[in-house]
Amino acid sequence: MKNFCVLFCFLLIPFLPVAAQEVIIKLGKSPVPIDEYFTISVTLKNQQLKNIGKFPDLEGFEKSNRFSSTTTNIVNGQISTEQTITQNYAALKEGEIEIEPFSIEVNGKAVESKGGTVKVVPSTGQAPPGTGVPPVQGFGLLDELFGKQKPQEYIDKQEDAFLAFSTSKNEVFVGEGLSVHLAFYIASADQNLVDFHNFNRQITPIIKKLKPSSVWEESFELTGEPEAVSIDGKAYLRFKLYESVYYPINTDPLLFPSVGLEMIKYKIAKDPSFLGDNRMATSKMYYTSPKIVHVKALPPHPLREAVPVGNYRLHEGIDRDKFLAGKSFNYLFQIEGEGNLAAIATPEPTATPGLEFTAPDIRQDINRQNGRVSGRKGFRYFATPKTPGTYDFSNIFSFIFFNPDAGKYDTLRSELKIVVTGEADNDATIQSKDMGEFYQRIGNESNTLQSIHQFSEVKLYTNLVVLFLLLVSLYLFYKHRL
C-alpha cells in the first residue's frame, strides 16, 4: 500500500502546475531618433539569472550603459518572476541599419535572435550627442611575433590610474538607500600601461570584504564596458567593478575597509622597435581609502521598527464606477517611488462593516539604473460590498512611511469614495457574522462518515476477547489439576 501511494504521487507530478521558464530577446523600437537609445533586451521568466554573455556589437551604434529590472507577481498564491536586462546603444548615423542575426549566452545556453532593421531618424529636438572619446582600444600582452632580437631596456612610466570606492552619502537613516561604487579609473592617454589580472578571482573576496553584515542589498548588473568620464577637465576611462544599493537594518555604522586590486603594469621599451618587445609586464597593487558611513535612528514613532523608508507616492485604481450590494469589484492600492520595495508589507484594510476584502494579488516591479533603485509594488484586492451605503476608503487604506529627504514621517491615504446601491445581501451578512467556535472548527475537522454502531461493534469484539481469555484460563487451570 505504501509503495502504491509513492508511485501515485510520482504519477501526479507531471500534472502539477509549474510556472513556464522562458528566455527571449527583444529589439527596441524603430524608428528611433538619433538622440535616443536603441535597446536590446533579454527577458528571463520564472528563472534566476546566473550569468549572461556579451551583447552584440552593432554596426552604426556604440554601446552605452546597461540596466536591469525585475517584476514579481503573486496571484492566488502562485509566484511568477520576470527579469529584464537591457543594453542601450547610441546611434552614430542616420538611415536604415541592418542588424544581423545574433545570439546571447544566458545561463550557459545560447539564445537566438533573427535580428532586424532599425531606422535612425533625425533628432526630435536637441543635437545628437558626440562620442566625446575615441573608441577604447584593447590593451594586453603583445604576442612575440618574431622573437627577441636583443636585450631591451625598459622605462617604468608613471601612469595616471587609481582604484576608488565611493558612497552617495556620508550619513543615512536606518532603511535608507545608500548607493556604493567600486571603480578603476585610468587616464585615456595611459590605457596601454595597465591591464586587468585574475579579475574574477579577486573581485569576489573584495566584495565580501566591503559588504557590511547589517544591510539589505540590491545589486546592479554590470556591462564590463568602460565609460568615458571627465575629472577636473581630464579624460579618464572608468571601469565599474561593483555597484549596489545598501539598506541598513540597524544603527551600526557601515565600515568600509581599504581593499586592494592587483593589476598588470607595463614598463615601456626605451628604444621601441617593430621586431622587439616594447612592453614588459609587472604587477602593481591599487588600494581604496577606508570609509565610514554613519547610520541614524529614525525619529520616535509608534511604528518606527516596522515603517518602510523611502520617497513614495500612491497610485490607486478601481475597475468600475457603479457598485451594487453583493457584486464584487477589484481595487488596486499601488506604492511607487524610490526605496526598498521588498520591505513594504501588505497593507491590511481596516475592518469595515458591510465591506469585505480578500487577500490581495501582489505585483512588484524593480528598476536598477544609474545607482538608484526605484519601482512600484501593487496590491490588487477583491472586494465585495454586503450592504448599500457610502464607503470612504481613506478610512480603510493608508500607508505610513518615513521620507529620508524630508526627515519626517508621512502617510499616503486613499482618496476613493464609493456609493453602493441595491438591497443588502442577507445571506452574505449572516456568513460574515461570528458563529462561534463550533462553526470555526468545521474547516479543520474530517468529513469522513462515522458509523452510529461503531461503539457497539467495539463492545462486541471486546467481549469476545475477554471470553477467549477466560476459556484459555479455565483450560490451563483444569489441565494443571489433572
Q: Please report which residue ranges of 300-415 form alpha helices under DSSP H.
A: none
pLDDT of 382 strictly over 60: yes
Task: State mean pLDDT over 68-72.
Answer: 74
**Structural fold of domain 17-127:** Immunoglobulin-like (2.60.40)
Q: 129-141: per-residue pLDDT in tens?
A: 333 333 333 444 4
pLDDT of 445 strictly over 90: no
Task: State mean pLDDT over 66-71.
Answer: 74
Task: State mean pLDDT over 390-406.
Answer: 95
261/241 Cα distance (integer angstroms): 10
| pLDDT-above-90 percentage for the chain | 44
- Assess if CATH 2.60.40 describes domain 310-440: yes
150/277 Cα distance (integer angstroms): 9
- Is it true that the peptide bond before 31 is cis, omega within 30 degrees of 0? yes
Q: Among residues 342, 166, 337, 392, which one has the least CA distance to residue 259?
A: 166
Which pLDDT does position 249 carry in this prediction?
94
Which pLDDT does position 66 carry in this prediction?
74
121/38 Cα distance (integer angstroms): 12
Q: What are the b/e assignments for 80-118, b being 16+ CB within 10 Å? A: ebbbbbbbbbbbeebeebebeebebebeeeebebeeeeb
Q: Among residues 128, 239, 223, which one has the least CA distance to residue 181?
A: 239
Decide which of 256 and 55 is more confident: 256
| Domains in the chain: boundaries | 17-127, 152-297, 310-440
Q: What's the predicted TM-score (pTM) here?
A: 0.62
Are 17-127 and 310-440 in the same CATH fold?
yes
For residue 241, the tally of other CB atoms under 10 A from its CB is 21
Which pLDDT does position 466 carry in this prediction?
87
Beta strand pairing call for 408-413 and 398-403: antiparallel
The count of residues in the chain is: 482
